[in-house]
A and B are shown apart, each in its own frame.
Chain A
């Protein structure tokens, strides 16, 4: 088991390293000279040259990459070439914001999607099933940013009961921070909720066909008992592989939703730093996005092998990879 985990960690590290090379190279392919941007339009060529020198842009690409990697690993993320603020500070607060939004959205998606999917599967073919199917079709068809706009128009402008966005910090104004998350969470979470409802319904129906479910009924177990004992475990295992994809789509959505609701999150920061050719910020953010994504996949993998005794037993005996 330990060997399996260590193996996966090593694999993840290699993948991350590869991804950082890709990110680094791609960013250098971007048109536009960061030294020029940093120095400003009125700087003379000698000043630009000096900036370029200071930013290390004269070194060959591999050297630049290794220098960046060394700094990154030692925790030195550099400063933003636009605002002059330390990248760690900029990225840190933006990530916190996005993490919070992703968390509330995941809670909404799971809290709504899983029960709906369960209901639809258990009442398969009834009006409840059809109602859920209808909800799914609509929810998956409504773009989150448009829903965001409509929610703002209705709740923030027409009724003025919820803020249209905001930058309240959780630590300073928890209530304000949370209420400003209500509309973005709904806008962002509706489609994932519908996706989860569909997936859950499919997984439940699949598990219901298993022999051991018939056996559970033959034992006289009530439906609630069976759901708690068997069904949810199997459904969760079935859904685990989708988790990473779901988080990925949430991050994508967050970037757009953050700009609708003017939330100071990582998605917006990515878009802004791209416009401004802010290499230091962009590079860090992209690598962190990849890392988060790999981490989610990794956690899903580990969870899978911990929760399924067959895989777990296999790993304990073989000490190898699945």
Chain B
């Protein structure tokens, strides 16, 4: 409270620096892993599904940089392909759930009334409902595979997005420019698309960003318990599940696990960065 001191000034500068470092780290991690995933066919030294007889459970180095698994498949190649699958499933799952949920939210928030309270009741049950159960039911109906995981993730995030965008639509509906448009006889559909939707967009992007790392974790978790893509095609969860049978070979658990961690941490840092950009006020207060 007294006279400002040099160390204090320094710590301020460092704090800002620190936030930027977080964003850049997130970007590098995510972009790096995205690129690695996208370019997996080029980067991967081997086929992710090819089995090399006689090369089972190799250690680090040599022909197989990160070793091989119990069937003699190259861990590095499998991890690269698995990262790609994880990002794809996460993006699709969140994307579908967020889009559908947001549209429902915008509509019920704008229309209000009975429909609104009925749908809100449904989301009361849906929000936070154990996603494993959703996943299990989906898999039980349609069989295991990436589609099942995508649908499970989409269903999981749907109610949350209904609520968030409904709240935003409610707020926006009361804003003068929306009221003015309505009083001039502009059609509801047009108001929602032209005024409400664009104004809710930053919030949408922010929430997608926040959901993505969790979605990748969910994907891994669901594949881990055997709901994901069926065997030969590699997923991080499946690789980890396999590693359970070879706990005396920690490498099998460490490599895909670390890749998953880096992916999720990178996505988290990126989401924080996005929040900084979209909502600077919030970020300094609540973001950590």
Contacts and interface: CB of A to CB of B under 8 A. Distances in A.
Nearest to A260: B244
A249 B265 contact: no
B18 to A, nearest CB: 6
Interface in B223-256: 224-226, 237, 240, 243-244, 247-248, 250, 253-254
A146 B18 CA distance: 29
A231 to B, nearest CB: 16
B247 A137 contact: no
Contacts of A15: 121, 124-125
Given A15-B125, A145-B240, A140 B140 contact: no
A267 B132 contact: yes
Interface string A72-95: 000000000000000000000000
Interface in A19-62: 19, 26-27, 29-31
Contacts of A18: 125
B75 interface: no
A133 to B, nearest CB: 4
A253 B220 CA distance: 12
Interface in B249-288: 250, 253-254, 257, 260-262, 264-265, 268-269, 285-286, 288
A18 B121 CA distance: 11
B133 A286 contact: yes
Contacts of B11: 125-126
* Among A132, A141, A142, residue most surrounded by chain B Cβ atoms (within 10 Å): A141
A130 B133 CA distance: 36
Interface in A172-229: 198, 201-202, 205-206
A319 interface: no
Contacts of B133: 252, 255, 270, 286, 289
Contact of A271 (B127, B129, B225, B248): B225
A202 B143 CA distance: 42
A99 to B, nearest CB: 14
B225 A259 contact: yes
A140 B216 CA distance: 12
Given A15-B121, A120-B288, A153 B217 contact: no
A290 B224 contact: no
Interface in A127-176: 129-130, 132-133, 136-138, 140-146, 149-150, 152-153, 157
A244 interface: yes
B131 A252 contact: yes
B186 interface: no
A143 B217 contact: yes
Interface in B131-145: 131-133, 136-137, 139-141, 143
Contact of A138 (B257, B265, B285): B265
A215 B129 CA distance: 41
B253 A150 contact: yes
Secondary structure at the A interface, as helix, strand, loop or mixed, is helix
B54 interface: no
Contacts, number: 143
Contacts of B128: 244-249, 293
A237 interface: no
A64 interface: no
Given A125-B11, A130-B18, A26 B137 contact: yes
Nearest to B272: A137
B141 A31 contact: yes
A245 B127 contact: yes
Contacts of A136: 288
Contacts of B125: 15, 18-19, 290, 293-294
Contacts of B248: 157
A252 B130 contact: yes
A256 B244 CA distance: 13
Contacts of B124: 15, 297
Nearest to B258: A146
A141 to B, nearest CB: 3
A149 B213 contact: no
Given A120-B288, A150-B253, A140 B132 contact: no
19 contacts: A125-B11, A129-B288, A130-B15, A130-B18, A133-B288, A143-B221, A143-B240, A144-B221, A146-B257, A153-B250, A157-B248, A201-B286, A202-B285, A206-B286, A251-B130, A253-B221, A256-B224, A274-B140, A289-B130
Given A15-B125, A140-B213, A256-B132, 20 more contacts: A15-B121, A26-B141, A120-B288, A125-B11, A125-B15, A133-B288, A140-B264, A141-B261, A143-B217, A143-B261, A144-B221, A146-B240, A146-B261, A202-B286, A244-B127, A245-B128, A248-B130, A252-B131, A271-B132, A286-B133
Interface of B: 11-12, 15, 18, 22, 121, 124-125, 127-133, 136-137, 139-141, 143, 213, 217, 220-221, 224-226, 237, 240, 243-244, 247-248, 250, 253-254, 257, 260-262, 264-265, 268-269, 285-286, 288
Closest 9 A/B residue pairs (Cβ): A248-B128, A141-B265, A245-B128, A202-B286, A133-B288, A146-B257, A141-B264, A251-B130, A255-B132
